[in-house]
Amino acid sequence: MIAEQLAGKRIAITGSTGFVGTALVERLLRSAPGCELVLLIRGAKRGAPERARREIFKNDCFDRLRAEFAGADETFDEMIARRVHAVNGDVSADGLGLDEAGRALLVSCETVIHSAAAVAFDSPLDKAVEINLLGPSRIAQTLTELNVTPHLVAVSTCYVAGNRRGNAPEELVSEGPFDLGLDWRKEVASARRLRSDNEAASRDPERLRSFQAAARKELGAAGAPALASKTEHLRERWVTDQLVEAGRARATSVGWPDAYAFTKALGEQALMETKGNVPVNIVRPSIIESALAEPRPGWIRGFRMAEPVILSYARGLLTQFPGVPEGTVDVIPVDIVVAAIIAVAATGPSAPRITQVASGGINPLKYQTLVDNIRAWFTEHPLYDAEGQPIVVPEWKFPARGKVQQQLKRAKTLITHAEQVLQALPLRGTQATWAARLEERKTDIERAYEYVQLYGLYTECEALYQVDNLLTMWNSLDESDQAAFNFDPRSVDWPSYISTIHLPSIVTHARAKTRPGKNRNDRADRLRRSVLSPDRHLAAFDLENTLISSNVVESFSWLATRRLNMPERVRYVLRTLAQAPGLSSMDRKDRADFLRFFYRRYEDAPVAQIAEDSKELLTQLIVTKSFPAGIRRVREHRALGHRTVLITGALDFVVAGLKPLFDEIVAAEMTVRPDGTYSGELASAPPTGETRAQVLADYCAAEGLLLEESIAYADSTSDLPLLECVGFPVAVNPETRLAAIARKRGWLVEDWEKAPGGPRPLLPIGTMLGERERKRSFVGSAMTRGRF
């Protein structure tokens, strides 16, 4: 009996936060109640016990087990505390990164199940090497150093057989007829060198300048820290992309579909060469999918290989995918894999050296059968688009992989050009979402391209993985064990599994729209409720295009023209219009530099005159161009007891009339000369970009408020530092770049408009005063001197 064979044993498990690992932990705790588990988990900042609590035991995989403990003398949490020990451990580190207590627990284990892996098919080569190739060997070497020889069960993959056709037996690749004689040590050294070489190449001056340009193109005038952070992110992504491509190229050059299968194959070879006296058995599953029955039908953690492709087809994003219609898609439910692993662990070292857990050689699922069942199910149970219309799934086609890739490349190129055109236009709010939708569409196409590139070889694979050892072990079990630990691939009825278990599960898991009717913006309502919760501490607002449809140029123009006669006004308007493109370009490059440059136009302006005119500016420009919904939002925050702060690059006298709305106003200030005129020079750095974030952080620190409980409202990517420093960012009437970022990050987006029926002057020209007042204007003489 399997449960009895494991009773009293302590079993160490790696990879317990993953798909297979979580299912394995649950099954052992439920079906082998006499064993204890030691979970080796990369602790990171939280530590292994906290990660186990959050990422393993809170998963719905344990709902069945929790229910079994309801009303029992021992609670579920008490059972976990008694039977499970979580320790910090990392298979990518020598010695597994264990401390003294962790080593002591590992020494006490009779069995070690190694299921940790870099399972992504597009892992960087060096990461795949460190985890998949060297991970199993590090475990064996650590056990040898600790002078213990527990039974090691290593989970690998059937795809170590590579891109072969026909039978793939349960044997080491290095011992079969297709062995290429690769030296795994050389592959390790080469992968590590590649990381070093690409890190150096990424710091080439010309390449760094290209990263900077790309960052500025995406973020605009977001400020030096934000641009630097984005530049570094692009550099790191470039290095990763190079290593992903290097892994793919190296793997395919020697007959494997990707770096995952390649490093797993070499990992088996390395383990067998370095295991010493540690007894080793290898379990090789094929493509692992949702559960057939345990812990419940359809249970899945994260998306595997097939799900993204299936959902993209159901949503109308993919109409074709490479593959051989009569070929076999070798998938296996996760609970069958877990049961096989447990059976090997219970049998001990006498189990077959290699056990493959696959369906293709004994109960094949044909690609055409899979597609037909998927199409039939989504025809009967369609997904719905945002407008509430059913998405009609097309007839699936099986073209060559290269043809699909070319079609997707062309589609991406067209969308990229359209996106560039839209980003060049001064779009805001609802209009800016056009560009955000294009960005989403481009992302969908890129994802589809990745699916073809990553999974195309798997759908074209024609290997038949033999399961003789698996069936021998299955036939040796008595009826009770076969009932409790089903690992017979023949037990899966594929049409029934696909239609009644797998597809309903992944649709639920993906939270796909399955009902007609337009999308209610429930998400926006939830975000809005969070923003207006009494628990929030502070609300910070930008001014221009956030609370008012105006800017510093309009404010200056209103003040400047108020005391000009008609010829001077015409001259001023023509000159300003001619300068508009240059001013706009400067503003996009650096907001602070633009404000310093533009505010010099106030040089010689009498302080008293500006103060007097600013009162009229408030009523005739600021109020008439305000967004009523924005002003209401400020008042709502005040009513809830939140602090309200206005942070703006506008000059202090322009916003002085808004003081009743805010607890604090932080604005730009100019120095004043002894003669009572403005110098045109700012007293300090204007509150723009990263300065706004620092101002808000300092204010919160001084007042005992929390940034993570604060809200920020802004409209532009130049405000990204402010939006990113709070817990609740809100994009208001966002320009194109910010609309795309907000959509991608799931931020609340508000579209506020001016009050209908208000004045709509073509130009922001101040009300003309009488002759005596006009003589005191500071702007006419400035134009005469050619200051602007």
pLDDT at residue 415 tops 70: no
Looking at residue 779, what is its pLDDT?
60
Supply the pLDDT for residue 768.
53
Q: Cα separation of 34 and 36, whole Å?
A: 7
Name the token pair of 153: 């069960």
CA distance 221 to 718: 5
CATH 3.30.300.20 fits 528-763+779-784, yes or no: no
| Plot region of 346 (φ>0 → left; ψ -120 to 50 → alpha; else → beta) | alpha
Residue 784's H or E segment, with its range, is helix 779-784
- Span between the terminal Cα atoms of the chain, in Å: 92
pLDDT of residue 551: 82
Q: Is residue 400 within 8 Å of 322, Cβ to Cβ?
A: yes
Q: How far is residue 661 from each of residues 630, 655, 696, measured CA to CA in Å?
A: 11, 11, 17
Q: Residue 181: its pLDDT value, please?
A: 82
**Helix 566-589 with 591-599: angle, nearest 10 deg:** 160
Q: What gap in Å lies between CA 332 and CA 329, rounded to an integer?
A: 10
Helix (H) or strand (E) holding 111: strand 111-114
Confidence (pTM)? 0.78
Token pair of 240 as six digits: 């990763």
Among 27-41, 55-69, 370-384, 405-419, the range scoring the smallest mean pLDDT is: 405-419
pLDDT of residue 436: 59
Block residue for tokens 């503003």:
587
Tokens 């990381």, residue? 195
Q: What's the confidence (pLDDT) of residue 305?
A: 60
Q: Which two three-digit tokens encode residue 634? A: 């400020």
Least confident of 112-126, 320-334, 735-749, 769-783: 769-783
With 0-12 CB in 10 A as exposed, 13-18 as middle and 19+ as buried, what is 770?
A: exposed
Structure confidence at residue 584 (pLDDT): 76
Higher-scoring residue by pLDDT: 646, 177: 646
Residue 757 has pLDDT above 70, yes or no: no
222 vs 658: which has the higher pLDDT = 658
The predicted pLDDT at position 40 comes to 95
The mean pLDDT value for 222-233 works out to 86
Q: pLDDT for 274-324, tens place per residue? A: 999 999 999 999 989 999 999 999 999 876 566 777 887 788 777 766 667
Cβ-contact 286, 465 below 8 angstroms: yes
Q: How far apart are CA 142 and CA 622, in angstroms?
A: 71
Give the pLDDT score at 542.
Answer: 93
Separation between Cα atoms, residue 587 and residue 718, nearest integer Å = 10
Buried b (16+ CB within 10 A) or exposed e, 328-354: bbbbbbbbbbbbbbbbbbbbeeebbeb
* Residue 670: predicted pLDDT: 92
- Region 327-333 average pLDDT: 88
Q: Are 132 and 117 in contact (CB under 8 A)?
A: yes
List the single range of 70-79, 346-355, 443-452 with lowest mean pLDDT.
443-452
Angle between helix 224-253 and 205-219 (nearest 10): 120
pLDDT for 291: 95
Question: What mean pLDDT comes out for the span 543-548?
Answer: 90
Please report which confidence band the pLDDT of residue 553 belongs to, taking 50, 70 and 90 as the band edges: confident
- Mean pLDDT (the chain) is 85
pLDDT of residue 775 exceeding 60: no
Say which residues have a Cβ less than 8 Å from residue 580's Cβ, sequence separation at least 6. Answer: none
Confidence check: pLDDT of 712 > 90: yes
Look-up of token digits 């320009």: 735
Q: Count other Cβ atoms within 10 Å, centred on residue 618.
A: 16
Q: What is the pLDDT of residue 512?
A: 77
**Rounded Cα distance, 787 and 560, in Å:** 13
CB within 8 Å of 645: residues ≥ 6 apart: 538, 539, 540, 541, 662, 663, 664, 665, 666, 696, 699
Alpha helices in 203-223 (DSSP H): 205-219
Burial class of residue 637 (count of CB atoms within 10 Å of its CB; 0-12, 13-18, 19+): buried
The pLDDT value recorded for residue 521 is: 55
Domain ranges of the chain: 528-763+779-784
26 pLDDT band (50/70/90 cuts)? very high
Q: What is the per-residue pLDDT across 143-201, written as a single tens digit (0 to 9) for each?
A: 999 999 999 999 999 999 888 778 888 888 777 656 778 899 999 999 999 999 999 99
Most confident of 395-404, 430-439, 445-454, 719-728: 719-728
Place of tokens 């409720």: 529
Query: Residue 757, SS3?
Result: coil
125 class by beta-carbon count within 10 Å (0-12 exposed, 13-18 middle, 19+ buried): buried
For residues 657 and 590, which has the higher predicted lDDT (pLDDT)?
A: 657
For residue 419, what are its two tokens?
């996106």
Q: How many residues does the chain have?
A: 788
Q: How far is CA 131 from CA 20, 38, 237, 273, 345, in A?
A: 16, 20, 20, 17, 22
> Is residue 74 predicted with pLDDT exceeding 60?
yes
Structure tokens at 299: 């249970």
Average pLDDT over residues 564-583: 78
- Backbone dihedral angles phi then psi of residue 320, each to the nearest 5 degrees: -155, 155
pLDDT at residue 519 in the model? 58
pLDDT band at 340 (very low <50, low <70, confident <90, very high): very high
785 vs 621, more confident = 621
Instruction: Decide the pairing of beta strands 678-682 and 670-672.
Output: antiparallel
Q: Is the pLDDT of residue 672 over 60?
A: yes
When pLDDT is cut at 50, 70 and 90, the band that residue 633 belongs to is: very high
Name the band, by pLDDT with cuts 50, 70 and 90, for residue 769: low
Percent of the chain with pLDDT over 90: 49
Residue 615 CB coordination number (10 Å):
12
**CA 472 to chain centroid:** 44
Cis peptide before 349 (omega within 30 of 0): no
Q: Which residues, listed in sequence order, are joined to residue 551 by a DSSP beta bridge?
A: none
